[in-house]
Amino acid sequence: MKLVTFAQQGAVKVGAIRGEEVVDVTAVFPSMLALIENYVTGLPQISDRLAGATAVPLSAVQLLAPIPTPRRNVMCLGLNYAAHARESYAAKGQAASLPTTPIVFTKATTAVSGPYDPIPFDAAVSAEIDWEVELAVIIAKAGKNIPAAQAWAYVFGYMVLNDVSARDLQMRGKQYFKGKSLDGHCPTGPWIVSADELPNPHDLRITCRVNGVTKQDGRTSHMIFDIPTIIAYLSQGMTLLPGDIIATGTPEGVGFARTPPEFLRPGDVLESEIEGIGVLRNEVTAVSDLP
């Protein structure tokens, strides 16, 4: 099932996709988090309603971030694809070393944005805005000390996420948080694909384009730490919660590691795509041009 949060006539609603239409399920689940918290009964309930329910065309609604206000920060894996780790070290003139323990940082909840939202650009804040397409995992239920062998039972679904990064801010500080957390620098969606619909998330093409030119073209099979390993690691002594978002890292081809380095400018269109999920399309927009 593909699940969306959308705006219609000023109201924020929850829905399920049926073909090119959206079936509104807000009366049963007032928010995506409420749906996830009741997924055991909720998903079959939605599935039962889907066939006969009235629907609105997808083109008539505005898709928002599937989880518009996450309960807490987005958890992100750093350097989780070997080729990206190598390009990152090379760009800094350092010898490459692959992580032996997952590298985890977070993005602020206020960075999260929708699948077609503009990416704000403010030259006074950062001149080095970069792209990182990633597979995001949504946690289904609370869990602590989850063994890797049981981790799949804790996955609610998946979405595309771009870990947009202000490289100057990121590299200047000793922590990534600030450079990873500018408003609107975490486009997500276009929907959550439920786990049952994506049986092998580790064999998907993952691509990122800028103005139609392919910059990243990888496969999720190239992750260093796979999804069960990440869930097992994060849940050690730390409770994962329903609706938690985990960004699993980006393949090679980011802007700062290119020769010469490339960064996004106002007017650039960023497309982030994962096979079997969908495409995000976000235009970089000067803050002075934002509403």
* Residues found near Mg ion in the complex (CB under 5 A): 132, 163, 250
Exposed e or buried b per residue across 242-280, where buried means at least 16 C-beta atoms within 10 angstroms of its C-beta: bbbbbbbbbbbbbbbbeeeebbbebebebbbbbeebbeb
Separation between Cα atoms, residue 39 and residue 259, nearest integer Å: 46
CB nearer to Mg ion: pick between 165 and 194: 165
- The least CB distance from residue 19 to Mg ion, in Å, is 33
CB nearer to Mg ion: pick between 156 and 256: 256
Separation between Cα atoms, residue 234 and residue 102, nearest integer Å: 9
CB nearer to Mg ion: pick between 243 and 251: 251
Helix (H) or strand (E) holding 113: strand 112-113
Task: Classify residue 197 as left (phi > 0), alpha (psi -120 to 50) or beta.
Answer: alpha
- The least CB distance from residue 161 to Mg ion, in Å, is 9
- The least CB distance from residue 217 to Mg ion, in Å, is 16
CB-closest chain residue to Mg ion: 163
CB nearer to Mg ion: pick between 179 and 190: 179
- The least CB distance from residue 167 to Mg ion, in Å, is 12
Residue 162 contacts residue 134 (beta carbons within 8 Å): yes
CB nearer to Mg ion: pick between 29 and 105: 105
Bond into 190 cis (ω within 30)? yes
Backbone angles phi, psi at 3, to 5 degrees: -115, 135
- The least CB distance from residue 246 to Mg ion, in Å, is 11
